[in-house]
Structure 1
Amino acid sequence: MTSGDPMANLETVQGYDVIGDIHGCSEALERLLEKLGYQKVNGVYSHPDRIAVFVGDIVDRGPHIRQAVWLVHDMVKAGNALITMGNHEYNAIAYMTPSPEGGTHEYLREHNQRHTRIMRETLDQFSDYQDEWKYLVEWFLTIPLFLELPGFRVVHACWDEALIDEFKRRRNTNKIDLDFLVRSSDLDSFEFDVMDRLLRGTNLKLPNGMSIEGKDGYVRQFFRTKFWSESPEVYQDIVFQPDPLPPEIAVRDLTPGDRSKLLSYGEERPPLFFGHYWRMGRPECIKPNLACLDYSAVKYGKLVAYRFDGEKILSNDKFVYIDVTPEEFPKPESSGLEDLSKV
């Protein structure tokens, strides 16, 4: 595919390869693309009749972030790939964007110790390429929040039908702009709700004013949840985050109020692909129409793709993946592999 506009190629595409969170693992990404049948043409990976679809989170944590971002960027620009925004791309844009006059902080995402620590590897690897970094941050802002493609959908963390419908009604697009970005820094805004839900997922407040402190030192009064849980009974059935819930919270029964805040994704809906959730083990479908493609590549897990060919019921046989080994990390002592949560 070489027209420069992947959306214009969709009528001739014979299949899609949806690829999970990369986090700077560019060597693993090259191996996966080659396993999928992509080859470099004029320096850019392409396939004669398929398109790659990236679920976001190209940056942060890994050993070759600059190479990974350019590889994906060049594929998208050449019309050989599509991409949705991950929460780490969103964080990068907000971290680099000054707040309007009168803002609480100098930048939309405060340059505190925690936020800077999450971005440390990215900032370091682009330290000698500031013009490149400025350009790529501007490119991040143009990345769609979600994709609705022939027969399937893609989002980074969570498909919230009501929020997406309202977003499309207000904006008539699947992208944000600078004004939307600025408004998303207001925690009480619709814009924040969209970015938080689609790029970070659902959450519940801990009961009785309780809080937990994560391995990164961040104290939370909320915990992230799986939006796909079927018939959950206790908190442990719905929790997703690197830090486990304390045992006394994990076994608490969900209240009717808790249940009212949970989402579901019915099996009658189109297949949905997403990343974000740090899964482990052998890749498999969550439901007949749900597949998470984040298998912790940057934690020496797997970089995973799903070869989608229009099927309405997803199959475990369609996953393609490669193992990511420590040898791909030249500086494991500083590779940013801390459990920092998908904030």
Structure 2
Amino acid sequence: MFCAASWAGAIGWEIDVQASVEGYDLIGDIHGCGATLAVLLERLGYHQRNGVYRHPRRKVIFVGDLIDRGPRIRLAVRIARRMVEAGQAYVVLGNHEINALTYTLKAPPELGREWLRPHTPRHNRIIKETLEQYHDHPQEWDETLAWFRDIPLFLEFDGFRVVHACWDHALIAQLRSQYADGRIDDAFLCRASLPGTLEFRILERLTRGGSIDLPEGVVIHSGDGFTRRSFRTHFWVRDPVTWGDVVFQPDNLPSDLERQPLSDDERASLSYYAPDEPPLFIGHYWCEGVPALPAPNIACLDYSAVKHGRLVAYRYNFEQRLEADHFVWVPVPRDATARPMPREIDFD
């Protein structure tokens, strides 16, 4: 469970942080690159004391997707969890934490399947590394799942916001009407397993972002080995006209589809985050190259760490116009894919 000091302020609509810390370091999708996370924290000036990484004047915010794919998943979760429980960090849920919860949660009989997230070859592949690395640590896995249940879908601070994939005002308002602090429960996850429900729309938009279906017969063979029949969209253009105006992913659209006009329904389905709104920090989108700001008030922190990219942080000092030179990152070396020896997991 979270300690009172770390989450007491998260119950209300906003968290007032400026009086207590010099600034926040927001860290992108880790995906099990636990050793690289430790390197990044050290570079940011955090040092381990009593098993917890701490900074004398700053705190961390993790934007989700701690697990899956990487070689040191337990280490990544342990570092983040200990920081949160010690009041040194905050965290929001990513789609991979949601995947883990629904993959391990029994479905109600009326759904006609055993698990909320069906154990298909695709879903099995995504969570494979996580289950294997926790295989000999079942109690730790159960505790990790319980911790995931206590993590909110979004955070709104006094002056900035954090969500894994997309800040949608209408959906967050509807979520707040029932879950004021953004922390959901198993009943919510069960309802979210049914396409078309409000809960489904909330989880999809906040943890996976928007998407548009590709034409019949057209697919994208993604760099992560999956075949996709839709593409991810962003949410910071006021009047987009074509698919190219909103596509936000490392994979190019096939053929000349960037010039494809948005239909009225597609345009209506898009979220919008205006340039005069508070700074927003997200992950999720597998960016590549040198970290850059997609909009003056939006920072995406996912730079494909687990694909030998960069594990990225943004050093936020409460500025209202974000600055690209506030990004800090470390490259993820290719030898980081080697499984750790057991002694490398514990850092006490």
Amino acid at match of 2:99: N
Match of 2:219 in 1: 212
Percent same amino acid among aligned pairs?
Answer: 47
CA distance in 2, matches of 1:186, 1:74: 34
Please, which of 180, 196, 205 is the counterpart of residue 204 of structure 2? Answer: 196
1:16 is aligned to 2:30: no
SS of 1:5's partner is helix
1:139 is aligned to 2:147: yes
CA distance in 1, matches of 2:193, 2:266: 26
SS of 2:125's partner is helix
Aligned-pair distance for 1:236? 2.7
Match of 2:246 in 1: 238
Distance 1:24 1:224, change over 3 A: same
CA-atom RMSD, angstroms? Answer: 2.1
Distance 1:105 1:240, change over 3 A: farther
Aligned-pair distance for 1:6? 2.5
Aligned-pair distance for 1:241? 4.2
Question: 1:228, 1:264 within 8 Å by CA — same for their partners in 2?
Answer: yes
Unaligned runs of 5+ in 2: 10-16, 341-348
Q: Which moved more, 1:281-290 or 1:291-300?
A: 281-290
Match of 2:310 in 1: 302
Match of 2:329 in 1: 321
Q: After TM superposition, list the pairs within 5 Å mapping 1:13-92 onto structure 2.
A: 13-92=21-100
Please, which of 277, 281, 284 is the counterpart of residue 273 of structure 1? Answer: 281
Unaligned runs of 5+ in 1: 333-343
Distance 1:210 1:263, change over 3 A: farther
Question: 2:238, 2:274 within 8 Å by CA — same for their partners in 1?
Answer: no
For residues 177-210 of structure 1, the C-alpha deviation after alignment (integer angstroms, 9 at most, x for no partner) is 1111111111121111100000000112334x45
Match of 1:178 in 2: 186
For residues 77-110 of structure 1, the C-alpha deviation after alignment (integer angstroms, 9 at most, x for no partner) is 1111000000000000000101112322201000
Match of 2:269 in 1: 261
CA distance in 2, matches of 1:253, 1:103: 37
- Which 4+ stretches in 1 moved above 6 angstroms? none
CA distance in 2, matches of 1:195, 1:91: 11
CA distance in 1, matches of 2:266, 2:191: 28
TM-score, normalising length from structure 1? Answer: 0.90
For residues 209-240 of structure 1, the C-alpha deviation after alignment (integer angstroms, 9 at most, x for no partner) is 454264545462x3321222455432233223
